[in-house]
Amino acid sequence: MVTEPAGQQPAYYVKSVEKTFAVLLAFTSDEPRLTMTRVAAKADLSRAAARRFLLTLADLGYVSTDGTHFELTPRALDIGASFLANLTLPQIAEPHLRQLAVDLNETTSLCILDGTDVVYIARVAAPRLLSVSVNVGTRFPAWATSMGRILLAGLPPAHREAYYKSIQLTPFTENTVASIDALRSEVDRAAELGWSLVSRELDDGLRGLAVPVKRGNDLIAALNVSLQTHRMPEAEIAETVLPCLQQAAEAIASDFGGRSRGVA
């Protein structure tokens, strides 16, 4: 590979391509309609250059204009459509799970609801662990896990009640929720808070913290971190771990085409 001197672009570099994408990326969810002057400022172009790029993109069908303002057209989606079509939620989530696992030095997972169980669809073990007993495809009763309770909290009330009628609670530890009424209260609390913490119910040495991952208004998965009970006091989790988890959930949702806003 040929290394260019610092500050210089490679000989093949097409500056106009860079400028084209600067113009396209000037349009954001906060500013979907822009004047030519505003595009020039955001793309670091002269007004004359911005005009040429915008009018060319309009001729190609990527932007539309009313004569004063410009905005992207649906055709702009074609640029990333092929890439997005080949991505699945686990693929999108994995780099975020890896970074979260490194940041927290804990195991991170992404789960979906399947019947009465949660199913792991992506999982990254804590960097300090040499082996794990839970893998992609592992199932647990949804009612006994933090991610399960977040997913149950996102169900319509009638579906939630149907779920309660379909299960039988079995103790895993002495801390396992013991009644449907108690479970209902925990799920209602998860719905109210937008996150769920389950402590020592499935495994006496573990706590699980989970937040929702949403695409628009649709709850698509739960993001979870498993915390060994001896590594952090429970009182600190909401202040130190929860913001990291919520940020990762937002990033996954954004990459998958939506925004996570908590459980409704």
Q: What burial letters (b/e) apply to 241-261, b meaning 16+ CB within 10 Å?
A: bbebbbebbbbbbebbebebe
Question: What ranges do the domains of the chain cover?
Answer: 15-82, 87-255
Domain range 87-255, its CATH number among 3.30.365.10, 3.40.640.10, 3.30.450.40, 3.30.1490.20: 3.30.450.40
Encode pLDDT of 64-91 as tens digits. Answer: 999 999 999 988 877 776 665 656 888 8
CATH class for the region spanning 15-82: mainly alpha
pLDDT for 72 equals 93
pTM: 0.64
Q: What is the rounded distance in angstroms from the CA atom of residue 210 to the CA atom of residue 142?
A: 12
Q: State residue 90's pLDDT score.
A: 87
Give the span between the Cα atoms of 9 and 23, in whole angstroms: 20
- What are the residue ranges in the chain where pLDDT is below 50? 1-6, 130-131, 259-264
Residue 122 pairs in a beta bridge with: 110
> What is the Rg, in whole angstroms, of the alpha carbon atoms belonging to the chain?
24
Would you state the pLDDT for residue 30? 81
Q: Which pLDDT does position 195 carry in this prediction?
A: 94
Contact 63, 26 (CB under 8 A): no
Q: Is 206 exposed, middle or buried (0-12, 13-18, 19+ CB in 10 A)?
A: middle
- Is there a shared CATH topology between the 15-82 domain and the 87-255 domain? no
pLDDT for the residue 231:
76
Secondary structure tally for the chain: helices H, strands E: 10, 9
User: Distance between CA 258 and CA 252 in Å, rounded?
Assistant: 9
Q: Note the pLDDT of residue 87.
A: 60
